[in-house]
Amino acid sequence: MEHISKRFGATCALDDVDFDLRKGEVHALIGENGAGKSTLVKILSGAVSADAGSIFFDGHSFIPSNPLASRKQGIAMIYQELNLAPHLSVEENIMLGREIHRLGFMQGKTMQRAVEKALEFVRHPEIKSHIPIKKLSVGAKQIVEIARALVGKAKVLIMDEPTSSLTQEDTLRLFKVIQKLKNQGVSIIYISHFLEEVQKIADRFTVLRDGKKIHTGRMEETSVDDLIQMMVGQKFVEMFPKIDHEIGDVVLQLKGLKGKRMAAKVDLVLRRGEILGVAGLIGAGRTETLRTVFGLDSVEKGTIVVGTVETGYGTPWNRIGQSIGLLSEDRQEEGLALSLSVADNLTLSLFSPYKKFGLLRLKKRREAVQFWLKQARIKAQDPDQPVSGLSGGNQQKVALARLLHQEADILLLDEPTRGIDVMSKSQIYEWMGTLVQQGKSIIFVSSYLPELLGVCDKIAVFHRGNLIDFRPVSNWDTQSIMTVATLGRIAHENQVEHFDL
């Protein structure tokens, strides 16, 4: 792939990237969230098309105009969210879309033989050709996807974070299969955040950062530290206004909290007037923890102390009453009701100020909404227009303004700046500063490390469900955060004393 570029709206996802893949090699593609890895492989697999650049496959120029065209060439993608029909059997799934038939009648025997050959190759104790997919573990499903690619005679396999939800055992099994595939001459593009794994399995690597290619090299000549250095680069901290604020008593405490979808127990202390940053990879447990605190997931173990009161599970309604607010990471699906008006979305969590005999005083609400639109500098034509008509940044500000309107003192913000423009971002940072100055407290989950370092008082890092390190922000840098997030510990002994509290 040469000179590949891709823009999504105002953001440049890929900028003049070159990438080459050799026969029978495992090539790791690494970079932070949003560096452009997924976009690059999506272009190769035909899911999105490049704006510029050219692709050569086996020496021929090749334009992957749609997923089918790529599949015919022998490029198979194994997605993070698996692409299997849960009710169909292993065999049916493997043959789906490439059924062998004569005059429309399926050739059962021939298909069975093909499937058995593929399953023989991947060898997994759970997988039998007749059992339905939904009965398999995540690891086994992944293997079925690979078997499917084998039946399709894939020459290139793309794996996007294949191990992020696998157990140790399944990971090893997957690696064995990858080794076997390599020996057969299949090339593999392997995307992963887990650098130690990458180092074990990959022959070469390419690092992307902010849509640009930083380096391609041989894995054995490169240390994990070098990789991290390349991933984070030299980012300067900017546009983060430091607003003086005082840190006070404890307002929220999690004691051995374990929710339905959390992998491990979590302890955490949040103080009045504090911005606590939470870093970690996607799926490491950050979002799940916030959702458990807010009552969107049920509590299995442990307690949540709000102020000085111990509480177990509380519904979102209870939590809002305890002046806690949550900003969802998914603005489109959860954060906003897109078909409702700006006014409804802004006031949905607190109607009581406008209530009289159970009816809403719309005029009074309209005035209040206009005040908030002005306060939050939200560009909207009218409070009654549907929120879907606003830009991403303004939508996000509506979602945030809702928390302010409901007078939340503890704000749980999950990726508040994802996918919005720079102006809106800096405005949100400014807000956060003003809010803690007023004595509110914020838990700030983000995948963008510079902003965590720029606005937080303290940062903690999640690694595979465990909340690992709490340290004042001055004891962190992008490199150490990335190290803890990907390895679960600090890389070098000599760095420990530098970090130690």
Partner 1 sequence: MKTKSNILIFEEKMKDKNRIQTLLNWLGPFLGLFLVLVIFSSIPEVQDRFLRISNLRSVATQSVIVALGALGMTFVIISGGIDLSAASNIALASVITAFAINVGFSPVLALLFGVLTGGVVGLANGALITSLRLVPFIVTLGMLGIARGVAKWIAGNQKIDAPLTWVNEIMAKSPRPSWMLIAPGVWIMIFFAVAMAVILRYSVFGRHIFAIGSNEATARLCGIRISRNKILVYTIAGLFCGLSGVMEFSRLTVGDPTVAVGLELDVIAAVVIGGGSLSGGAGSILGSMIGVFIMAFLRNGCTMMGWPNYIQEIIIGAIIVAAVALDQIRHRQSA
Applying CB under 8 A, which residues contact partner 1?
294, 296, 315-317, 319-321, 326, 328, 333-340, 344-345, 348-349, 351, 355, 358-360, 362, 388, 402
User: Which residues on adjacent β-strands are paired with residue 30?
Assistant: 207
Closest approach, Cβ 368 to partner 1, in A, equals: 15
Between 114 and 336, CB nearer to partner 1? 336
Nearest in space to 186 (alpha carbons), one of 154, 214, 161: 154
Cβ-contact 191, 159 below 8 angstroms: yes
- Residue with tokens 């939590």, as numbered in its chain: 319
Nearest in space to 166 (alpha carbons), one of 199, 196, 143: 143
Q: How far apart are CA 445 and CA 290, in angstroms?
A: 9
Between 4 and 378, CB nearer to partner 1? 378
Between 279 and 290, CB nearer to partner 1? 290
Closest approach, Cβ 272 to partner 1, in A, equals: 23
Nearest in space to 246 (alpha carbons), one of 272, 278, 215, 281: 272
Nearest in space to 40 (alpha carbons), one of 164, 216, 180: 216
Closest approach, Cβ 344 to partner 1, in A, equals: 6
Q: How far apart are CA 262 and CA 285, in angstroms?
A: 6
Closest approach, Cβ 74 to partner 1, in A, equals: 40
Between 172 and 362, CB nearer to partner 1? 362
Closest approach, Cβ 206 to partner 1, in A, equals: 37
CA 188 to chain centre: 23
Closest approach, Cβ 218 to partner 1, in A, equals: 46
Closest approach, Cβ 328 to partner 1, in A, equals: 6
Between 137 and 349, CB nearer to partner 1? 349
Closest approach, Cβ 407 to partner 1, in A, equals: 13
Tokens at 83, concatenated = 């692409």
Closest approach, Cβ 296 to partner 1, in A, equals: 7
- E strands present in 18-117: 26-30, 52-54, 56-57, 60-61, 75-78, 101-102, 105-106
Residue 480: what residue type? S
Helix then strand then coil, in percent of the chain rounded to 5, is: 40, 25, 35
Between 333 and 497, CB nearer to partner 1? 333
Between 34 and 383, CB nearer to partner 1? 383
Between 340 and 473, CB nearer to partner 1? 340
Q: How far apart are CA 451 and CA 252, in angstroms?
A: 23
Q: How far apart are CA 276 and CA 57, in angstroms?
A: 48
CA 497 to chain centre: 31
Nearest in space to 35 (alpha carbons), one of 237, 280, 214: 214
Other C-beta atoms within 10 Å of 481: how many?
A: 23
Between 328 and 486, CB nearer to partner 1? 328
Q: How far apart are CA 351 and CA 34, in angstroms?
A: 38
